[in-house]
Amino acid sequence: TLQRDNHGSSSHRNEDSTIHGVSETIVGVLGGGQLGRMLCQAASLMAIKVMTLDPLEHSPASSLSYQHFVGRFDDGDAVREFSKKCGVLTIEIEHVDAITLEKLEEQGVDCQPRPSTIRIIQDKYIQKVHFSQHGIPLPDFLKMDNPESAEEAANLFGFPMMVKSRRQAYDGRGNAIAHCKEELPSAIAALGGYERGLYVERWTSFTKELAVIVARGRDGSVLCYPVVETIHKNSICHIVEAPADVPEKIRKSSVDIALRAVSSLEGAGVFAVELFLTNDGQVLLNEVAPRPHNSGHHTIESCYTSQYEQHLRAVIGLPLGETSMKTPAAIMYNILGEEEGERGFYLAHQLMKKALSISGATVHWYDKPEMRKLRKMGHITLVGPSRSNVKKNLDLMLNRKSIKSN
């Protein structure tokens, strides 16, 4: 029979003395994209079995997972069936059926982080309400479900104004900027109208965007990864610099906000906290992802324990690993689709070939079957003895591309 302890773990696992290997817990991952793929890569080192559920048969994780199931992670029946095969259930995307997960948890299914966390995070408006109730600094926001609330938001926040979809948001798809009152109706329409479920945020003028990954084990132990800077292109994470080049005071308040945000959420795993460093030197929370994150790709090469291995350790209940950097500096460069189709593949290939000739560069290709503009196709991590070294190597890597496109 299944028995849950304080942290929602099941005690059906063997005593240590009879475990063969590091862990016999089968980890079920909802989603099979690149994050799932990198979870599988980390798992293979310790022969941890990771199963994936994704609507695509040939998703990035499918060829590397122990068993891949084709099904929708936002479909209750599919999630229920999948959960029967796993010892612990986790996510690589938050747009899953959280209501079903809450029911499954009541029935003894072990889900980490807790479904309550996923439910709060997946609706960005509820997420903002949650964090503001916990006293975490964030940009002013307002629910917008009719023309009256749009009027109110315009009066309160002025322009430019950030209109956001409450649900299904990622890579900036779900954000629309209204530069003036006249642009508000088209911004609302671009996101699918009020029916989509919208809210607005006060425009934040920032000097930098920062991110902190926090890991929490099943025993409640908490560790932070170094603060990084994230640089976006069209609202999509493009470049990550680790560690961030910010004063100690900013580093401290970033870590403080990240720890407070994560302590208000339940369950084990890694959590990525996205932050704004405003023009007047404040640190504000943007959003939290309750899973491995683009801002932590660099940890594979630059930290003693990657965020992927850490997430597995955390959800299984193994000891957490050291989070500090083993190289002085790292840069992660996302390979975003530049053009549709063959030409796009050609450009990505050229860039990766160039990267392979640069010392300290590691190339990751997600093996997505289709190339689309601004789609995350892979990434390149550069590690080196100093920030200037990795920046120089990034320039070297990109130079060729800019020569090519001339």
CB of 139 to Mg ion, least distance (A): 13
CB of 280 to Mg ion, least distance (A): 22
Nearer to ligand ATP, 209 or 266 (CB): 209
Instruction: Say if residues 339 and 373 touch (Cβ distance below 8 Å).
Output: yes
Nearer to ligand ATP, 232 or 401 (CB): 232
Nearer to ligand ATP, 69 or 276 (CB): 276
Distance CA 81, CA 111 (A): 14
Angle (nearest 5°) at CA 145 between 183 and 76: 120
Work out what residue 139 binds among ligand ATP, Mg ion, none; the CB cut-off runs from 5 to 8 Å by kind: ligand ATP
Give the residue from 282, 230, 221 showing the smallest Cα distance to 254: 282
Work out what residue 113 binds among Mg ion, ligand ATP, none; the CB cut-off runs from 5 to 8 Å by kind: none
Query: 């995307």: which residue's tokens?
Result: 93
CB of 382 to ligand ATP, least distance (A): 22
CB of 171 to ligand ATP, least distance (A): 4
Work out what residue 291 binds among ligand ATP, Mg ion, none; the CB cut-off runs from 5 to 8 Å by kind: none
DSSP conformation letters of 295-362: GGTTHHHHBSS-HHHHHHHHHHTPPPPP-SBSSSEEEEEEEE--SSHHHHHHHHHHHHHHHHTSTTEE
- The values of phi and psi at residue 36, to 5°, are -65, -40
Nearer to ligand ATP, 169 or 316 (CB): 169
Residue 351 has which token pair?
């860039």
Q: Which residue type occupies 11?
A: S
Nearer to Mg ion, 175 or 393 (CB): 175
CB of 183 to ligand ATP, least distance (A): 15
- Parallel/antiparallel/unpaired status of strands 88-91 and 27-30: parallel
Q: Which residues contact 308 (CB under 8 A, 6 or more apart)?
A: 35, 38, 39, 41, 42, 292, 299, 300
**End-to-end C-alpha distance for the chain, whole angstroms:** 66
- Parallel/antiparallel/unpaired status of strands 27-30 and 50-54: parallel
Nearer to ligand ATP, 54 or 201 (CB): 201
Work out what residue 172 binds among ligand ATP, Mg ion, none; the CB cut-off runs from 5 to 8 Å by kind: ligand ATP
Work out what residue 384 binds among Mg ion, ligand ATP, none; the CB cut-off runs from 5 to 8 Å by kind: none
Query: 């040939």: which residue's tokens?
Result: 58
CB of 141 to ligand ATP, least distance (A): 8
Nearer to ligand ATP, 170 or 304 (CB): 170
CB of 30 to ligand ATP, least distance (A): 16
CB of 358 to ligand ATP, least distance (A): 27
Nearer to Mg ion, 132 or 168 (CB): 168
Work out what residue 254 binds among Mg ion, ligand ATP, none; the CB cut-off runs from 5 to 8 Å by kind: none
Give the footprint of ligand ATP on this chain (CB under 6 A): 139, 162, 164, 169-172, 174-175, 201, 203-204, 209, 232, 235, 274, 286-287
Find the binding residues for Mg ion in span 233-292 (CB under 5 A).
274
Integer-rounded Cα Rg, in Å, for the chain is 21
| Residues near Mg ion, by CB under 5 A | 274
